[in-house]
Amino acid sequence: MRPPDLARLVPADHPLRRHFRRPASALRAFLDTGSAGGVILMGAALLAIVIANSPLAPAYFGALKTYLGPLSLLHWINDALMSLFFLLVGLEIKREFLDGQLRTWPDRALPGIAALGGMAVPAIIYVAINSGSPSTLRGWAIPSATDIAFALGVIRLLGARVPISLAIFLTALAILDDLGAVVIIAVFYTETLNVYALLAAVFVVSLLRTLNTSDCRTLVPYLGLGAVLWVFVLLSGVHATVAGVVLALTIPLRQSPGRPDDATSPLHRLEHALHPWCAFVVLPIFGFANAGVSLAGLSWATMLHPVTLGIALGLFVGKQIGVFGAVYLAVRIGLAQLPPHATWLQTYGVATLCGIGFTMSLFIGLLAFDNQPQIEANVKVGVLVGSLMSVFVGVVVLLGRRRIATWEPGQN
């Protein structure tokens, strides 16, 4: 179904208008679903903070530590439930690269360059601040992530003040950002490997690949083998959510130019089925389970802790410098063009919103400092502070665009 609110934002002569003459693709559906989910995610995070600082706090934290079978409730959420989110991420990555907004190198140029800058500069800032504390350097990747649901939620609230081309640019950037985060999790946050479990996982992947090459278009066997793959990946020592991405890459996609909602494509069917569940169930539950941090002991010492400071400044300062700086250089040297109908000021505002790192930043932080409650609390404070500052400045910039819309880098 076409998202009419997005269509109305596109002028009749806009080059992107052609996209709304055909059925809405999964990307444009995500702009609608993802942004609405971002608002719910904000509410879930706020509720978690309120409960963590209320008389209900002991029950809240106690419930998360309760074991249900081999894993605690928190681990079931972070390792199992979030695998559905990573499955969706993998499906988006595959579709966009093969049949979407990232299918050609020119399409990938600007968001790809921006994603690299937006991952590198925050990591450099974190490492610089934590260089005197080797034990905390492990968190270097925490501020490198962008929370697409939160960022799109803010853009949705701003309405026509943000061109649709920038919303699509942000979505593509965040998808590439997620791809980088998946690689980082698999490579840098795997402690020890169980070779036998890993070999079993590889065997399951080979079965999934066989299903794909035999043109099996029924999702049930893929999902059944995917559950088995998740178990073996969990036992292997690689983070279990990586199984979701690997499974996604084996789901068949029938390329369908001009028919982005092709009902015969298993990947499209699964992606559209997962979108509402991830936006309205998985991510809010994750946010509620992980955003709760007690502010009772919050002090300047906490705020100035290398982990807190590195994450907050990495997200707020590093993201806007990395993303906007990369875009500016790419456009100036001719590697890419600014999104249609977008000004430099609007692009800077969206670059600042990339500093909203909530979901993936918290996820990586919990991997980096597992079973270290005090540092985990610093991670949460840093993510919340950096994300909130990014929201505030990004919104102020985008709301003030009409008065200084002709501003460019280098102008006084």
pLDDT at 58: 93
pLDDT at 263: 59
pLDDT at 132: 85
Report the distance separating Cα 260 and Cα 24, nearest Å.
7
Mention every residue, 6+ apart, whose C-beta is less than 8 A from residue 294.
Answer: 52, 53, 57, 377
pLDDT at 404: 40
How many CB atoms are closer than 10 A to CB 311?
33
The pTM score is 0.77
Q: Hey, which residues does 67 pair with through a beta bridge? A: 72
pLDDT at 212: 92
Short-list 242, 237, 351, 374, CA closest to 297:
374
Torsion of CA 272, 275, 281, 283, to 10 degrees: 160
Q: Do 398 and 162 contact (CB within 8 A), yes or no? A: yes
Residue pointed to by tokens 């992947």: 205
Report the distance separating Cα 79 and Cα 84, nearest Å.
10
Q: What angle do CA 252, 257, 262 make, to 5 degrees?
A: 50
pLDDT at 102: 78
Short-list 181, 171, 192, CA closest to 142:
181
Distances from the Cα of 358 to the Cαs of 38, 212, 226, 323, in angstroms? 10, 35, 27, 17
Distances from the Cα of 16 to the Cαs of 13, 154, 195, 294, in angstroms? 9, 22, 49, 46
Q: Do 381 and 143 contact (CB within 8 A), yes or no? A: no
Q: Where are the domains of the chain?
A: 35-190+239-400
pLDDT at 311: 96
Which homologous superfamily is 35-190+239-400 in? Na+/H+ antiporter like domain (1.20.1530.10)
Report the distance separating Cα 369 and Cα 365, nearest Å.
6
What is the mean pLDDT of each successive set of 10 residues along the chain, which is 412 residues long?
40 44 46 64 88 92 92 90 90 83 80 94 96 90 84 76 83 84 84 88 95 91 96 89 91 68 78 88 90 77 89 96 96 89 91 90 89 88 93 90 46 42
